[in-house]
Amino acid sequence: MTPTSTALDQLVSELPPGTVITNPDGMDGYRWDRALDPNAGVPLVVVRPTSTEQVQVAVRFAAARGIAIVPRGAGSGLSGGSSAQNGCMVISLDRMRTITVDPITRMATAEPGALNADVKTAAREFGLWYPPDPSSFEICSIGGNVATNAGGLCCVKYGVTTDYVLGMTVVLADGTAVTLGGPRLKDVAGLSLTKLFVGSEGTLGVITEVQLRLIPAQKPPTTLVASFPTLEGATQTVLNITQRMRPSMLEFMDRPTINAVEDVAKMGLNRGAAAMLLVQSDESAALATEEIALVEQLCQINGSDEIFTTSDPEESEAFIAARRMAIPAVERTGTLLLEDVGVPIPRLGDLVLGIATI
């Protein structure tokens, strides 16, 4: 049932000014994420709440009228998870950005619109670190990270988002707000409903607050960059490395990506290489030196024709920045099909029961 303009006026009246968007031009920017789904629909309404209670108002309005809900973070996702449907309600959490850090329990409490980079900055003030590190960390939101179970450049050693979510507040499809988990590392009684919501891409509820585990700050890393004339040599090196150690970073770039990044960065990357590996160790200085020396040996055994190592933070960061710009650099070369998850999923409110299979 499509709400009348009078019903939408009621929703507008129940929320603070500027929270509800109904004009087509204002809603247009909320139709897509970075997957740029050509089949993205036109929403009936966009709601930009600033609290759990306001999310509840919006969800109850939609539930009473059978309107599908599409929760949205920063819109940086690659899976189409926040693509709008015709006649849906988009709930954008981009204005909910509060972050608090408890250094005693090593925990951050963040609203879903807070950026990954902002959480890292807040933790850094207390000598702490939030490890999940997507390439888009400067523009992606914590709510989106939780909804997609984002990983990132450090996941080979430090894991992905689900490893750092201690608890959350979620608004369910009927507008009920529930608290799952909490600030306890050993919380093993009963079903892990918190884990169920991580990676659910908004199909089970709207996340309005998250408790995140923090760890002591990362040590300055030692970095190795190796170029390979063959893909086989690079992939075999990856296998050899992971059999022997857990580096803090292990990233791969193929020739098209190398050239796309070099077009933008102009930092002297080997355009003729079939592949490039970026490896870091953040162990103590002596052990990091030992690990990187072993990585260098493995690269040489597998035919690497160019190897560079450094402990200089600025040089290391330059190579990391090159890896982070891979997607935007490749985007400049032409039309892309970005595929991260690539599975159509039901929106909150579409189905009472639904199963998406790969």
Query: What are the strands, taking DSSP E only, across the chain?
Result: 20-21, 45-47, 69-72, 89-92, 99-102, 107-110, 128-129, 165-171, 177-181, 206-213, 215-216, 222-228, 249-254, 275-281, 306-310
What is the predicted pLDDT for the residue at 4?
62
What is the predicted pLDDT for the residue at 77?
85
- DSSP 8-state symbol, 50: S
pLDDT in tens, 256-272: 999 999 999 998 999 99
Higher pLDDT, 63 or 3: 63
What is the predicted pLDDT for the residue at 192?
83
For residue 348, pLDDT beyond 90 = no
For residue 171, pLDDT beyond 80 = yes
What is the predicted pLDDT for the residue at 311?
93
pTM of the model: 0.86
Which tokens is 114 given? 């807070």
Higher pLDDT, 327 or 345: 327
- Say what the alpha-carbon torsion angle 184, 189, 191, 193 is, to the nearest 10 degrees: -20
What is the predicted pLDDT for the residue at 350?
40
Check if the beta carbon of residue 207 is closer than 8 Å to that of residue 145.
no
Check if the beta carbon of residue 241 is closer than 8 Å to that of residue 248.
no
| Own/partner long-range contacts of 35-42 (Cβ < 8 Å, ≥24 apart) | 35/77, 35/78, 35/79, 35/80, 35/83, 35/338, 35/339, 35/340, 36/338, 37/80, 37/83, 39/83, 40/80, 40/83, 40/84, 41/83, 41/84, 41/85, 41/86, 41/87, 41/88, 42/84, 42/86, 42/87
What is the predicted pLDDT for the residue at 2?
60
pLDDT in tens, 313-331: 999 999 999 999 998 898 8
What is the predicted pLDDT for the residue at 347?
43
Higher pLDDT, 34 or 207: 207
Instruction: Give the neighbor-by-neighbor strand order of the sheet with 275-281.
Output: 249-254, 275-281, 222-228, 306-310
pLDDT band at 70 (very low <50, low <70, confident <90, very high): very high
Alpha carbons 152 and 340: distance in angstroms, whole number: 13
pLDDT in tens, 24-69: 999 999 999 888 888 899 999 999 999 999 999 999 999 999 999 9
Nearest Cα to Cα of residue 356 among 201, 198, 171, 163: 201
Q: In the predicted model, what is the mean pLDDT of residues 203-230?
A: 96
Nearest Cα to Cα of residue 171 among 81, 106, 86, 89: 89
Place of tokens 């093993």: 188
What is the predicted pLDDT for the residue at 5?
72
Domains of the chain with bracketed CATH: 5-92 (3.30.43.10), 99-216 (3.30.465.10), 222-331 (3.30.70.2190)
Alpha carbons 80 and 35: distance in angstroms, whole number: 5
For residue 163, pLDDT beyond 90 = yes
β-bridge mates for residue 252, sequence order = 277
46 Cα distance to chain centroid: 22
What is the predicted pLDDT for the residue at 327?
85
Mean pLDDT, the chain, rounded, equals 90
What is the predicted pLDDT for the residue at 35?
81
